[in-house]
Structures are given as C-alpha cells and as structure tokens.
Structure 1
Amino acid sequence: MSATNIHIPAFDTEGQIPAYVARPDADSNRAIIVIPEIFGVNAGIREKCDAWAAEGYLAIAPDLFWRFAPGAELDPDVEAELQQAFGYFGQYDADDGVKDIEAAIRWLRSQGAEKVGCVGFCLGGRLAYMAATRTDINASVGYYGVMIDQMLDESHAIAHPLMLHIPTADHLVDEAAQARIHAGLDPHPKVTLHDYVGLDHGFAATSGNRRDDAGARLADGRTHAFFSEHLA
C-alpha cells in the first residue's frame, strides 16, 4: 500500500480539490471514496483510507472544506477544535459536497475503477445518502448521517444499494429524526438500515473518546461485507 496527497479536478472547473489517496499494492478495479466528518481529512480518515487500500481498494478522501478552509484537520476531543468544526459545518453547502463526490467518482474511473463505492461519517454520512440519490455511484454507506430525515423526498432516486448505520442515542440525530428515516427508507428495496442500541454519534471513529469498539467492529464488518457484495 502507498499513500500520497494529490489534487483532482473539481466537477465544474472551479479549481482543484485536495485529496488523500491510498493505493493498493496491486492494480484494482474497485474503489472507495471515504467522505470525512466535519473534522477534515485528519489522521482517522487517512487511517480508514489506508485500511481500504490494504484490502485491495483504491481509496480517496476529498477535502470537503477546500473552498474556505483547505487543509483543515481537527480533533473532536479538543473542545476548541470541535467548535471550529461546527462553525465550518454551518457555512458548508452540501450541494458542493455532492459535486466533489462526483469529481472523485470521475477521477477514480479515470484510474481504472469499474466499481466505485463511498463511505461517509457524520456530514459524510449525509453526503453518502446524497450520493446515492444524485449520482450513479455503485454502493454507498453512511455512518450516523445528519439531516437525512430532511431529505427523504429524494429517496425515490436511489438506484444502487445504500446502507445506513444509525446509533439510537445519537445526540445530533434525535429519536424523531430516526423514526422518520426508518419510515421513509425501510420500505425501499435498495436500502438497508442498522440500529446500534445505546450508541452515540461518532461510535465508529478510529480512536478517541467517541469510539465504541464493539459497535465499530460490528458496523465496519457489515460495511466490508456490503462492499464485497456490491463492488465485486
């Protein structure tokens, strides 16, 4: 496995998107877009990319905040950096995020990827849902995605498999929002929802105070099986 920082062309020629890329040792026709949380392409996101590359996937993590805070790397366990991240989230336009995912899909296909999936966390979980509704990505996984309950009117456009991991004690996605997600998506033949009873937002972080090891291992195992099936 090898890794490097690169730039890829933005979707609508507005610039170059910084990204972290991890390549497997052998050429692969399968690829994963790792969509960051509100903390940027930090060590945890790079670790997730490296893990996918070690399993034979070409992995890329685009810098979501490149338009106004390029290179931001924040630690959710540091209060000042957590508040900074919430500030970035407040000024972020998720429609731009979908364009950046589309740019990543196009770049990965230019590198020989025939099947492309995405896995996102928090804000990235929302963008994974939006990628499933707005792009032709082959498979999508979202962990504790925020605001999905406000975008259920797009669910009719989901054409490829989508999996969402939902911690029931998520302090950013309350019980009412979770109920709306289930009501809107449980009947959809392309969507799989998994609840994690008693777990909170961020439970699948690679490290830090938020991680729940048992929950993370369970969710990650489901994600790996999902991609093994749908990106084969």
Structure 2
Amino acid sequence: MGQTIELTASDGATISAYRADPDGAPKGGVVVVQEIFGVNDHIRSVADGYAADGYLAVAPALFDRVRGGVELGYDAEGIDIGRKIAFEDLTSDQVMADISAAADCASEGGKVGIVGYCWGGSMCYVASARLADRIAAASGYYGGQIMPHLDERPQAPLLLHFGTEDHGIPLENVHAIAERWDHIGVHIYDGADHGFNCDARASFNPDAAALARQRTLDHFAEHLST
C-alpha cells in the first residue's frame, strides 16, 4: 500500500519517510511517529492502518539524521541502540523540524493529526505544544519522556494513553501530567504494559490497543474533519 519518499526539513536536512495513501479522497493526514526501534514493519503497518481508515499517513524516519534505515529488534541491544539515538544523538528541535516536514506532506490530505508510540508518544506531546500551527490533533501512547517537557503547554487537542502495568512510567507521573494540564485527555488502561499497541511485542494487549485506537480515530474524526 505504501511507498518510501524523501522529506526536507526547514534546516535543510533530508530524511526518508513511509507514505501510505487511502483509497479515494482522504479524510485528513496523519503523521505516525516511531518507537525507538525505527520505521519498521510494525510502524509501516500502523501507517497502512490509518490509510485504510481513510487518512494520508506519513511515518518519518526520525533516526535518519544519525543513521539511515534504522530497524531495530525488540531486544536489549535494540533498546540500547534506539535509546542512544533518541536521547543522546538527536535534539527535540531536530525531531520537531522533521515532524513538521512530515506534517507538511500529510497536509496534502487535509488537516493533520499526529499519533506516536513510546518515544514517539513523548514527541506527540511536544508537537502538540510546539507545532499547533501544523497539527490539528495529537494522540500519544505511553510516552515516558513527557515529564521533562511538562511545562510546555499542549496547544493542539491531545490524548495520552498509558498502561497500569507499565513500570517504566510511574502512575504518579501520569497523574501529574493530567493534573498539570486538565484540558487534555489522559486514558489509563488496566492490565496494559508498555508497548501494548504493538502486536510484534510480548506486551501486546489487543483489548487496550483496540480501545486506544478507537479513541484516537474518534479524536481525529472530531478535529480533522473539514
């Protein structure tokens, strides 16, 4: 369904992206923001899923500034490599520039939403604060790096999704986010662990994934409709 394209950011950097187009006229655009494992089969399948639901989906390869073609395994080595690139080698300004370029591409489909997972979930929060002129709605899954950005006020309508069994994101942090910004929607899924949306991981929770996805689709339908 999809194809690999090239994006150029405002600072001149070029990165690749996976683009999936819907059948017929799009309902809007969706930027799909990767986990720390790169734009892999799972992220491409997520983009394909949003295209099947009628959106022009673009998944930017946000690690391309450091290393092209990153697709890591869901193991200790993959986690170590991905965390280094995400948290040491890239700046949030660079990531926002690349997400902005992806949003420009996705805007061919209309108003743009953003959805992200793990590291990408944290970047959704930041994008909702910094890129509200390009992003009409955001939905972030189990973003563990939101707390360092908590003073950045979300501007675009934002949903956040967390699991009760995600030991990497204390529930006290989740509650702190909800209390800090009471205009966003924070959803907590009983029995769900980190990565509950990813069917390639042992922590996949189909019930939580289906509910979070439906909430995201409803969110996009509300805010991306023309």
* TM-score under structure 1 length normalisation: 0.90
Count the aligned residue pairs. 222
Q: Is the 8 A contact 2:195 2:201 kept in 1?
A: no
* Structure-to-structure mapping, 1:123-138, within 5 angstroms: 123-135=119-131, 136=133, 137-138=135-136
Matched, 1:87 2:84: yes
Partner of 1:8: 7
Q: In the TM superposition, what whole-angstrom CA distance separates every residue of 1:188-221 from its partner, at most 9, and x where no partner exists? A: 2xx1110112321101113321201111111111
Q: What displacement does 1:184 show?
A: 0.8
Matched, 1:195 2:188: yes
Q: In the TM superposition, what whole-angstrom CA distance separates every residue of 1:75-122 from its partner, at most 9, and x where no partner exists? A: 21x33223222232332322211111111112223xx33210000001
Out of 29, 32, 42, the residue aligned to residue 31 of structure 1 is 29
Secondary structure at 1:164 match in 2:
strand
Secondary structure at 1:4 match in 2:
strand
Q: What displacement does 1:24 show?
A: 1.1
Partner of 2:165: 169
Partner of 2:150: 152
Secondary structure at 2:109 match in 1:
coil
Partner of 1:46: 44
Distance in 2, matches of 1:193 and 1:90, equals: 24
Partner of 1:229: 222
Distance in 2, matches of 1:113 and 1:24, equals: 9
Distance in 1, matches of 2:214 and 2:200, equals: 17
Matched, 1:212 2:205: yes
Q: What displacement does 1:36 show?
A: 0.2
**Range that drifts further, 217-226 or 135-144:** 217-226
Secondary structure at 1:172 match in 2:
coil
Q: What displacement does 1:182 show?
A: 1.9
Unaligned runs of 5+ in 2: none
Read off the aligned partner of 2:116 and give its amino acid letter.
G
Q: What displacement does 1:161 show?
A: 1.0
Q: In the TM superposition, what whole-angstrom CA distance separates every residue of 1:43-74 from its partner, at most 9, and x where no partner exists? A: 00000000111111100000111111211001
Distance in 1, matches of 2:85 and 2:203, equals: 20
Distance in 2, matches of 1:9 and 1:150, equals: 28
Q: Is the 8 A contact 2:33 2:121 kept in 1?
A: yes
Distance in 2, matches of 1:182 and 1:32, equals: 24
Distance in 2, matches of 1:40 and 1:125, equals: 13
* Structure-to-structure mapping, 1:46-65, within 5 angstroms: 46-65=44-63
Q: What displacement does 1:29 show?
A: 5.2
Q: What displacement does 1:19 show?
A: 0.3
Moved over 6 A (4+): none
Q: Is the 8 A contact 2:27 2:224 kept in 1?
A: no
Out of 128, 137, 140, the residue aligned to residue 139 of structure 1 is 137
Q: Is the 8 A contact 1:144 1:164 kept in 2?
A: yes
Read off the aligned partner of 1:226 and give its amino acid letter.
H
Secondary structure at 2:152 match in 1:
helix
Secondary structure at 2:98 match in 1:
helix
* TM-score under structure 2 length normalisation: 0.92
Unaligned runs of 5+ in 1: none
